[in-house]
Structure 1
Amino acid sequence: MKLPIASVFLAGALASQAASAAFITFESAGPNAAAITATRDAFRGAIGGGTVAGANGSFGGLRREINWDGVPDAFADPNALPANFFNVNSPRGVVFSTPGTGFMVSANAGGSTPTLFGFPSDFQAFSAQRLFTAINSNTTDVTFFNPGTNTAATTSAFGAVFVDVEAAGVSRIQFFDENNVLIYSHDVLVAGNQGLSFLGGFANAGERIARVRITSGLNTITANGVLGNPNDDVVVMDDFLYAEPGQAEDVPEPSSIALLAIGLAGCLASLRRNASGLPRD
């Protein structure tokens, strides 16, 4: 029958549109901030928002950034950073979770706590001077909200600066959609001891990211100057950059609309033939 054939065409057209979805990857690595700045800037440009930050790390309502440097000492090493700090204290629409015991940002110079989590020969800052890590875990999950609310949201891009990636195929960023389906996974480039790596993924076909999983090395930091084990690569993070969290409009892409129109036209033609008694193909 013509109607089922048209229906199959419609389904195939929609599947083809979904299959074309992809992310553009921005990545670089090197010994210092200069080695990755151009890539970071290109990622910024892809999202938009310019270079002048407004309140709560907002760039023109298009992009948010977290550089950790505004975190007060009360929430920095040796103290823990609240998982919801960047949706409550400084609302930027992200909440962290980890299978570990919490999160920590490194201490500023001039205090009694050693900077760089107590590992000056392993780490450096991309944007001086605080860094970020999970505690007792190498896994950080980032979920998105309308900033300052409990309303779940999604984003279209996320990137981060990694510090001291020495082992290939270990540190990575993964994106999951609202159904918890993995839609993007990419390993972080090796930068060597104390080196800096940037990795970001940018949606180019309407994809929406509900959760980001960051895997940082194989080792863990348990406290200032203390590692989970003495042998594996320990990796921490600096700046996070992401598109403004929000809700995607429930409107098909223009190409999807065209495909739907073609499919529906086929269905209507079939119905007309059936009604007029014309022979079927």
Structure 2
Amino acid sequence: MSGRREISWDGVRLDGTDVNPNTQVVDSGHTVIIPVDRFRGQGALFEDPYAVSGDGFASVNPATAGQFPAFSPNNTFVMQDDTPYQFDDRFIAQSFTIPGTATRGFGAIFVDVEKAGSSIEYFGHDSSGHEVSLGTFNVPTGAMSGEPQFLGVLFDQPVVTDVKLAVGTNTLFNFDGTNFQSFGPENLAEGTDLAVTDDFVYAEPTMAAAIPEPETYALMLAGLSLLGLIAYRKKPAFNQL
């Protein structure tokens, strides 16, 4: 993969002085919610504002303190619900901001995935401009609590215009703009798996290639490179996404 971009979240300031003035402080010095265009300079635009934390979200969900060690210290990233008493919005959606461009591949570090269900779905557009799912790929589960996992998919052509990450089964907290509510502990026996993400990495966006006709597309999917790797406590070779 020649050329890549990476978002590590570590440059986000957590005390209300972030470079983007629209950042919302949830718990000063610990957790903030960034606006959708916080990483426009990296070519990323998010569907909704999402949360960045420097303490593994312990300040907003004390029951999971220590459960989400950052892969690259110190900040981690996850979605939150904006409706009081609800913790259901488990998706992170990202598009690539320059019109007419796409990436060959995208990958992310997931932390503490212990049950099946976390995934990345990739999207592109056909020659008519219609959005097409390129497939959903599952994050491998960890053997122990707090373990990081890397999932990335690399296509032959720059066809990925959007990605959607499913992270765990529930959000860690909700925030209505003023107050937050904690979800509480996970319960694997009852099917609750809480997780977060760390670094995002993707191939340098270039001119987008249209998704081919279904028969050709099926062959293309059969030939793509899928990496579902356990990311131990060293930096993975992101240039080999």
* Alignment match of 2:101 (pick from 142, 153, 159): 153
Cα pair 2:121 2:164 within 8 Å, conserved: yes
Question: Displacement, 1:121?
Answer: 3.1
Q: Does 1:190 align with 2:130?
A: no
State the AA in 1 paired with 2:4: R
* Alignment match of 1:81 (pick from 34, 43, 49): 34
C-alpha separation between the residues in 2 aligned to 1:125 and 1:245? 27
C-alpha separation between the residues in 2 aligned to 1:209 and 1:121? 34
* Alignment match of 1:138 (pick from 87, 90, 106): 90
Q: Within 5 Å, give how 1:261-276 maps onto structure 2.
A: none
C-alpha separation between the residues in 2 aligned to 1:117 and 1:241? 27
Q: 1:104 to 1:117 in 2, by over 3 A?
A: farther
Q: Percent identity?
A: 31
Q: Does 1:93 align with 2:38?
A: no
C-alpha separation between the residues in 1 aligned to 2:209 and 2:131? 19
Cα pair 1:116 1:124 within 8 Å, conserved: no
Equivalent residue, structure 2, for 1:177: 124
User: C-alpha deviations, 1:200-227, integer Å up to 9, x for none?
Assistant: 00012x2500110100011112257812
Higher Cα Rg: structure 1 or 2? 1
Cα pair 1:144 1:152 within 8 Å, conserved: no
Aligned residues: 178
C-alpha separation between the residues in 1 aligned to 2:72 and 2:60? 12
Equivalent residue, structure 2, for 1:65: 6
Question: Displacement, 1:152?
Answer: 5.0
Q: What's the TM-score once normalised by structure 2's chain length?
A: 0.66
Question: Displacement, 1:107?
Answer: 2.8
Question: Which stretch of structure 1 is more off in the superposition, 69-78 or 124-133?
Answer: 69-78
Equivalent residue, structure 2, for 1:202: 154
Question: Displacement, 1:156?
Answer: 0.8
Cα pair 2:105 2:158 within 8 Å, conserved: no
User: C-alpha deviations, 1:244-270, integer Å up to 9, x for none?
Assistant: 1232368x9xxx9xxxxxxxxxxxxxx
Structure 2: tracts of 5 or more residues without a match: 17-22, 82-88, 175-179, 217-241
More helix by share: 1
C-alpha separation between the residues in 1 aligned to 2:8 and 2:26? 15
Q: 1:80 to 1:249 in 2, by over 3 A?
A: closer
Structure 1: tracts of 5 or more residues without a match: 1-46, 49-61, 257-281
Cα pair 1:145 1:245 within 8 Å, conserved: no
C-alpha separation between the residues in 2 aligned to 1:143 and 1:217? 21
More strand by share: 2
Question: Displacement, 1:180?
Answer: 1.6
Q: What's the TM-score once normalised by structure 1's chain length?
A: 0.57
Equivalent residue, structure 2, for 1:128: 73
